[in-house]
Amino acid sequence: MDHTDEGTRGSGSLPLDGRVIVVTGGLGQLGREFTKALLSAGARVAVVDLAVTAETASQHGVPGYADDQLFVQCDVTRRRSVNGALEQIAARWGVPHGLVNNAALDSPPDASADENGPFESFPESSWDRVMEVNAKGVFLACQVIGGAMAQAGRGSIINVSSIYGVVSPDQSLYEYRRQRGETFFKPVAYSASKSALLNLTRYLATYWAPRGVRVNSMILGGVFNNQDPRFLEGYHRRVPLGRMARPDEYNGGMLFLLSDASSYMTGAELVMDGGWTAW
C-alpha cells in the first residue's frame, strides 16, 4: 500500500495513517506516550514489551483504539522472541513501516549500592545486563524487524538514546546523596550503551539507504518522574530551559522521524534535551 497520499485522519501535517509502528518498551513511561501519539496520528501500534501480560495489556490499552493496538510479549535480547514478535505483527498487519527502539534498562536510583557505587567496582554482571538490553536488544530488533522492512523496501527506525550517551552524566547532581553518606555515582553502563546506538544508527543509515529504510537517533533529556526534590533542583539549574521534560514532549520528534516530513533525514541525531548539551 502506498501511504504517501493517504487520508488526513490524525495529526495534520504528520499523518501516519495505516502505518504499522513497533514500539519496543511500549509499556514504559515514554513508550505509553509514544503509543497514544501514534494512535492519534492514525498509526497501528505494536506494543512490544517484556512486561506484556493479559493484565498489563488491558490496563494500558488506549480506549477507542482496540483494533489498532497489538500487545506483544517479547524479550528483545532473545532472537527467537523478536522473531516471534515480528511473526505476530506481520500476520496481523504485514511488515511494519516503523520501529522505535525504546526498550532499555537503567539502574534505578534505589538499585543496590554496588550498582550505583564507584566505577572501579561497578559489577560486570550489571554491565552485561544493561548492554544486553540497550545495545544488543536494539541490534536484534534492527536485524529482525529492520531486516524485514529493508526487504519490503521502506521503513523508518528510531533508536532512542540519551544525553548520557553523548556527554558524561554530571555527577555533581548526585552530590546530595554522597553528602548523606551514600557512595552514589550515576553508573557507566547506561552511558556506554546509549553511545553505542549513535553509531549503530549511522552504520545502518548508510547500509540501508539504498533499500529505502531511514535510521535516526533521538537524544533525550531527563523526564520528570517524581524525582527527589534535591535532584530536581540541581537538574533545573543545569538545563537551559530550567526543567525536566514532560513525558509527552518527545512525541513530536518521534512522529516527525517516522513520517514523510523527515523523508530526507537519515543517520542523524534529533536532540531534544532542553538545551542540556548546548553549554
Return residues touching ligand NAD (CB under 6 A).
24-25, 27-31, 49-51, 74-77, 102-106, 133, 137, 160, 162, 220, 222-223
Minimum CB separation of residue 12 from ligand NAD in Å reads: 25
Minimum CB separation of residue 178 from ligand NAD in Å reads: 21
Helix or strand holding residue 218 (H, E): strand 213-220
State how far the Cα of 107 lies from the Cα of 98, in Å rounded to an integer.
Answer: 28
Minimum CB separation of residue 268 from ligand NAD in Å reads: 17
Indicate the residue among 193 and 266 with the shorter CB distance to ligand NAD.
Answer: 193
Minimum CB separation of residue 71 from ligand NAD in Å reads: 12
Indicate the residue among 10 and 49 with the shorter CB distance to ligand NAD.
Answer: 49
Minimum CB separation of residue 176 from ligand NAD in Å reads: 18
Indicate the residue among 15 and 47 with the shorter CB distance to ligand NAD.
Answer: 47
Q: Give residue number: closest CB to ligand NAD.
A: 28
State how far the Cα of 214 lies from the Cα of 205, in Å rounded to an integer.
Answer: 6
Indicate the residue among 28 and 42 with the shorter CB distance to ligand NAD.
Answer: 28
Name the nearest CA neighbour of 254 among 97, 37, 86, 9: 37
Minimum CB separation of residue 253 from ligand NAD in Å reads: 12
State how far the Cα of 112 lies from the Cα of 118, in Å rounded to an integer.
Answer: 12
Indicate the residue among 15 and 218 with the shorter CB distance to ligand NAD.
Answer: 218
Residue 202 three-state SS: helix
Cβ atoms 187, 123 nearer than 8 A: no
Helices (H), the chain: 29-40, 54-60, 79-93, 124-131, 137-141, 147-152, 175-179, 188-208, 229-238, 251-258
Indicate the residue among 46 and 160 with the shorter CB distance to ligand NAD.
Answer: 160
Supply angle C-alpha 118, 239, 131, rounded to 5. 40
Residue 177 three-state SS: helix
Indicate the residue among 15 and 72 with the shorter CB distance to ligand NAD.
Answer: 72
Any idea which residue has 502505518 for its cell?
A: 19
12 exposure class (CB count in 10 Å sphere: 0-12, 13-18, 19+): exposed
Cβ atoms 96, 145 nearer than 8 A: yes
Minimum CB separation of residue 69 from ligand NAD in Å reads: 15
